Amino acid sequence: VSTQSTGSEPAKIEAGSFEFTETESFLKTAEDLLTPYEWGRYDLLLLPGSFPYGGMENPCLTFITPTLLAGDRSLTGVVAHEIAHSWMGNLVTSKTWEHFWLNEGFTVFV
């Protein structure tokens, strides 16, 4: 996996970099449990406070809410969850929305 970076508005860059410093170790753990990460690069983008979800994964990039900036890394499990979606949801997914629960179920399990 290429170097992970955190992007945001300038006022939140330092807090985001501190908060999500363990992201690379989350990726390594997922690779140890599953298979090599297929997307080449993984980045985080802190969106404005109006973003209505904790996180939303996409191949190579996860959108996250600034409400995860607790200052003590206590909410980084959301990032680990979104990383797991790189396998369960992005790499392998259900044929239809009827079984979408499998994506979330396997992601929570990992």
Distance of CA 43 to the CA centre of its chain: 8
| Contact predicate 40/59, CB 8 Å | no
* Nearest residue to 46 (alpha-carbon basis) of 77, 75, 3, 15: 15
The string of pLDDT tens digits covering residues 42-57 is 999 999 989 989 999 9
The string of pLDDT tens digits covering residues 69-82 is 999 999 999 999 99
With bands split at pLDDT 50, 70 and 90, how would you rate the model's confidence at 26?
very high
What 3-state DSSP class applies to 89?
coil
| Contact predicate 64/47, CB 8 Å | yes
Residue 7 has pLDDT above 80, yes or no: yes
As a whole number, mean pLDDT of residues 30-44 equals 94
What tokens does 98 get? 């009827």
Q: Do the bridges between strand 61-64 and strand 55-58 make them parallel or antiparallel, or are there none, so unpaired?
A: antiparallel
With bands split at pLDDT 50, 70 and 90, how would you rate the model's confidence at 97?
confident
- For the full predicted model, state whether its pTM sits above 0.85: yes
At a CB cut-off of 8 Å and minimum separation 6, what does 25 contact? none
